[in-house]
Amino acid sequence: MKQKLHPSTLCVQAGYEPANGEPRQMPIIQSTTFKYTTSDEMGRLFDLEASGYFYTRLQNPTNDRVAARLAALEGGVAGMLTSSGQAANFFACFNICEAGDHMITTSAIYGGTYNLFGVTFPKMGIEVTFIDQNASDEEIEAAFRPNTKLLFGETLTNPGVRVLDVERLARIAHKHGVPLIVDNTFPTPVHLRPIEWGADIVTHSTTKYLDGHGTTVGGAIIDSGNFDWEAHADKFPGLTTPDESYHGLTYTKKFGKLAYITKATSQLMRDLGSIQSPQNAFYLNLGIQTLAVRMKHICESAQQIAEFLAAQPSVKWIQYPGLASDPDHALAQKYMPDGTCGVMALGLKGGRDAAIRFMDALRLVTIETHVADCYTCILHPASHTHRQLSDQQLHEAGIDPDLMRLSIGLEDPRDIIEDIKQALAAAGL
């Protein structure tokens, strides 16, 4: 029987087993194309009749090994890498949802994803309904239509760090014959494996903790292989009826549990070309190898810092699911008993002005449009990423005008707490 490995072991070893004399570290196959001796062999690859590499826009061995490592971590059957998290969420949905279709998403999601679904998808003829992830089953179910193709959510939301009730949303999605797709960027598979709770497809912005060093933009899609497309064949004709661009091959019949990822690779990557470079996949691999140790340190530090902040009279409010007082604490304990992530959201007494004075006084904590890497960093959406919005529009987007997003990195938490103390004092708070 094959030994069941823990996440930290999978981080180091899954997806790549070198044979005798081969490189111990996963090599970068920095090659656009791959050589064949007969025309027939190459032709069979183009017909998806044989498996093998022929052009890196479709598949590359380095990318595939890193994707296999992520699939092992998430407990899925297959994965693919994309050039960014945006491309991952786009492909994950567009693979089964096209012009004339409808999808449902929770509204507390990353701003880029919000824009993709709210602005760009409608331009492509896809209708999108936004729901409150804490709405009742009945309210969520009322959003389903006959042409609904998927339900989407973020397992831990960016920037509010709210916990998605994955098991409940999976149950609702399945009742309506559609898959649940979740963006698992913030907890990472070290802290949450949504497939174990019923999610069907998992996406990542690997730019965040998975890379973890702020070096490479990237994304990933992992398929659980669990969703029964054939049981809802009329809803998913792209998977269950012949693809004329491959001589009438049907993905579910030919590839079984690998149907969804094979279609995403052989159609979407072929036509839309958002592949991750093998060099970036190599950096991503290095990041994943230390993911488990980094997440442990980051969560322990974030817990200390969140508790410190919660006790400051100048802190008006703080959201961090690791705090016992947080409304999502019970959900976090259910889904992420080993810790959530290093991101927290908070507001200071004195609002927007106080936030700006405080941030300008920080020395170790830097102002960055990023989260979830090795540096502790802070962002004020109302002044930065969302600065074009009025206070009213900010409220509608679920962002308080005084919200600051603080992302704890790998520094010693005692040094970060000292920095926060001096900045609060310097800001007169």
Distance CA 321, CA 333 (A): 9
Residue number with CB closer to ligand PLP (45 or 116): 116
Residue number with CB closer to ligand PLP (217 or 426): 217
| 44, HSE (Cβ side, Cα atoms, 13 Å) | 10
Among 29, 217, 258, 315, which residue sits at the site for ligand PLP (rule: CB under 6 A)? 217
Overall residue count recorded for the chain in this entry: 429
Which residues on neighbouring strands pair with residue 152, listed in sequence order? Answer: 105, 181
Residue number with CB closer to ligand PLP (59 or 205): 205
Give me the least distance between CB of 110 and ligand PLP, in Å please: 4
Q: Do residues 428 and 357 lie in contact, with contact meaning Cβ atoms separated by under 8 Å?
A: yes
Q: How large is the C-alpha radius of gyration of the chain?
A: 22
Among 34, 36, 54, 112, which residue sits at the site for ligand PLP (rule: CB under 6 A)? 112
Nearest residue to 16 (alpha-carbon basis) of 33, 29, 1, 34: 29
Residue number with CB closer to ligand PLP (55 or 375): 375
Give me the least distance between CB of 376 and ligand PLP, in Å please: 17
Using a 10 angstrom Cβ sphere, with 0-12 exposed, 13-18 middle and 19 or more buried, the burial of residue 6 is exposed
Residue number with CB closer to ligand PLP (36 or 114): 114
Among 219, 238, 381, 401, which residue sits at the site for ligand PLP (rule: CB under 6 A)? 219
In the region spanning residues 303 to 342, those forming contacts with ligand PLP, defined by CB under 6 A, are none
Give me the least distance between CB of 341 and ligand PLP, in Å please: 10
Q: Can you tell me whether residue 112 is helix, strand or coil?
A: helix
Nearest residue to 410 (alpha-carbon basis) of 338, 314, 328, 342: 342
Q: Is 216 in the site for ligand PLP (CB under 6 A)?
A: no
Residue 373, token pair as written in the block: 């890497």
Q: Is 102 in the site for ligand PLP (CB under 6 A)?
A: no
Residue 44, token pair as written in the block: 């069979």
Give me the least distance between CB of 332 and ligand PLP, in Å please: 16
Give me the least distance between CB of 251 and ligand PLP, in Å please: 26
Size of site (CB under 6 A) for ligand PLP: 15
Q: Is 113 in the site for ligand PLP (CB under 6 A)?
A: yes
User: Closest residue to ligand PLP, Cβ-based?
Assistant: 85
Among 208, 263, 380, 405, which residue sits at the site for ligand PLP (rule: CB under 6 A)? 208
Q: Which residues contact 369 (CB under 8 A, 6 or more apart)?
A: 379, 384, 385
Using a 10 angstrom Cβ sphere, with 0-12 exposed, 13-18 middle and 19 or more buried, the burial of residue 232 is middle
Nearest residue to 242 (alpha-carbon basis) of 232, 260, 254, 256: 254
Residue number with CB closer to ligand PLP (207 or 240): 207
Cis peptide before 159 (omega within 30 of 0): yes
Per CB under 6 A, the segment of 61-69, 203-211, 258-266, 399-407 that binds ligand PLP is 203-211
Residue number with CB closer to ligand PLP (262 or 285): 285
In the region spanning residues 30 to 89, those forming contacts with ligand PLP, defined by CB under 6 A, are 84-86
Output the DSSP codes for 236-299.
Answer: -HHHHS-BGGGTTB-HHHHHGGGHHHHHIIIIIIHHH--PPPHHHHHHHHHHHHTHHHHHHHHH
Residue number with CB closer to ligand PLP (110 or 251): 110
Among 62, 63, 207, 266, which residue sits at the site for ligand PLP (rule: CB under 6 A)? 207
Q: Which residues contact 193 (CB under 8 A, 6 or more apart)?
A: 73, 74, 75
Q: Is 183 in the site for ligand PLP (CB under 6 A)?
A: yes
Give me the least distance between CB of 93 and ligand PLP, in Å please: 12
Give me the least distance between CB of 185 and ligand PLP, in Å please: 4
Per CB under 6 A, the segment of 131-139, 202-210, 270-278, 380-388 that binds ligand PLP is 202-210
Give me the least distance between CB of 155 and ligand PLP, in Å please: 9
Q: Is 154 in the site for ligand PLP (CB under 6 A)?
A: yes
CA separation, residue 47 to residues 52, 108, 270 (Å): 11, 41, 13
Residue 13, token pair as written in the block: 């070893």
Residue number with CB closer to ligand PLP (217 or 315): 217
Q: In the complex, which residues of this chain contact ligand PLP (CB under 6 A)?
A: 84-86, 110, 112-113, 154, 158, 183, 185, 205, 207-208, 217, 219
